[in-house]
Structure 1
Amino acid sequence: MIKVILSLLTLISIWSYFYFKSKSLFSILDKLWSLFVGSKGFSNESINAFHKDRHDLDKFNAIYNFKATSTRQIEKFILWSKREKCDTRKTSSIKGWFDIEKLEPLKPLIWESWILFSIVVLFLSATTAFSAWGITSNAIVKLKGSDPWFLMDHNRAKPVFSKLIIRRVDCHDDTFSRE
């Protein structure tokens, strides 16, 4: 049963990969059709020409990470990249941020920039906090399963979510009370 589920998940993953790369499933359906039925192409030449254009479009979108909707856009892009001496690896590396119709990079929306900025600030804050904790002599420990987490160093122990602080001298004091 697990092998069947893993096989299905693998097939769905491959299917999803090709769908999100090319934004269509024409190529996969064409391969499945030719695998099970055995005929490639169409007998009508105009339909076959349209089918080949569609196949070229899907293949170009999948390989070069573009969202082209016609072969005219692809041809226009090829002429532009030759004229501008543009490296197609660089334009394809920005994935969906290149408008193939206008042949220019897309400008991100304000809210997208703010979300990216917020993620960077959050990541840097977390990294700074964890780095600061990492270079101190503190340790966060849990003594038993029911005990709270303690922040400990050489001189004190403090439950993480409490204001109580137990110092080294308190451990030797018989009159110390946790209240």
Structure 2
Amino acid sequence: MDASFNTLFSYLSELIDNKYVFAIIVISSVVGFSFYIKRKAKSGFSISNKLFIFLIGYRKKNNNDLIDEIIDIEKFNFHYNTNAISKRQINRFELWIRTYELDFRLISKLKGLLNIESLKIKKVNNLYFTLVFVSIFVPFFTLFPAINVALTPAFLIKLENTGWFWINKNQATEYVFTDKKKPWVINTTTCTANNSTTPTKNIIKLIDEKTFNLICKSFSNKEDQRYIERKIKEQQLFFYIVSIALILLVFILSKYLMTLFSAYEARKMILLKIKNFRSKRKHRF
């Protein structure tokens, strides 16, 4: 049974047309973006300060004010993905970068693996790195059947002694896990044909006559039709959400894996830079 993208687009258009749902989406996006900034900056003082300025008015910056120092620290944390809590740590970090001419782009990818106080990078265990790498494939391969269910305009159901199969208003098709097996198909034409015909007899052998008659009945029964249509919408909506969650999980694990790899590369880079710095200083004196 072919997958259809029309259902997805219809869901999206309905959401956009609904002003209340659209407002919720906009508000959720703003809140989500605020949490993203807060997570990267390690605090939300800059957000509250912007809100305060918006409500009360512009306030002249004073370098002696603690709030201005905190905002500068938040900006630093946001750009370098660090967790600094003082200007002293920032100054030491900048001196460290400049002294050894370190690649700040690579350092900014380390996030929590860099100790801003000691300027040390956490060593990544090879076994842990391998486990994170392997764990990506679990949601990755689960994603494809989830997307398949979400985009297929049919209800996936399992009956006793029949197994899994798709069903909609006009057709029922066996759900196959591999392309090697040819699925059985029951439609209105099959149901109206004589049970003694070869195709119908073969299908009844694969399932059973009771299930066959039940499926055929659903094609003409209005109550069954409404039930199937409702279940299709519920199933598609659920697997849309599952698919999005799996995509996010794959993305998060991939980003984390890149962070671990960056820590490995950064440790090598720092070791090489320090050796070169000491070698140049030794030859200079």
Q: Does TM, normalized by the shorter one, top 0.5?
A: yes
The answer for the alignment partner of 2:237 in structure 1 is: none
Task: Please list, as runs of the form range in 1=range in 2, the aligned pairs for 1:92-131 lying within 5 A after superposition.
Answer: 92-108=108-124, 112-113=128-129, 115-119=131-135, 122=138
Change (3 A) 1:37 1:144: closer
The answer for the alignment partner of 2:97 in structure 1 is: 81
- Asked if structure 2 preserves the Cα contact closer than 8 Å seen for 1:152 and 1:158, the reply is no
Q: Deviations over 1:78-97 (max 9, x none)?
A: 11111111021110022222
Counterpart amino acid of residue 16 in structure 1? F
Task: State the secondary structure of the residue aligned to 1:30.
Answer: helix
Task: State the secondary structure of the residue aligned to 1:19.
Answer: helix
Report the structure, 1 or 2, having the larger helix content.
2
Task: State the secondary structure of the residue aligned to 1:78.
Answer: helix
Match for 1:29 among 23, 34, 48?
48
- Asked if structure 2 preserves the Cα contact closer than 8 Å seen for 1:41 and 1:51, the reply is no
TM-score, normalization: structure 2? Answer: 0.43
- Asked if structure 2 preserves the Cα contact closer than 8 Å seen for 1:57 and 1:71, the reply is yes
The answer for the alignment partner of 1:139 in structure 2 is: none
1:68 aligns with 2:87: no
TM-score, normalization: structure 1? Answer: 0.64
Query: Which fold has the larger relative contact order, with Cα–Cα distance below 8 Å and residues 6 or more apart in sequence?
Result: 2
Consecutive unaligned residues in structure 2, runs of 5 or more:
1-19, 142-163, 185-197, 207-285
Cα displacement (A) at 1:17: 1.4
Change (3 A) 1:4 1:79: same
Consecutive unaligned residues in structure 1, runs of 5 or more:
127-141, 160-170
For 1:41 and 1:109, how far apart are their aligned partners in 2? 49
Aligned residues: 148
Change (3 A) 1:8 1:114: same
For 1:58 and 1:11, how far apart are their aligned partners in 2? 19
Cα displacement (A) at 1:103: 1.0
Aligned-residue CA RMSD in angstroms?
3.8
Counterpart amino acid of residue 51 in structure 1? I
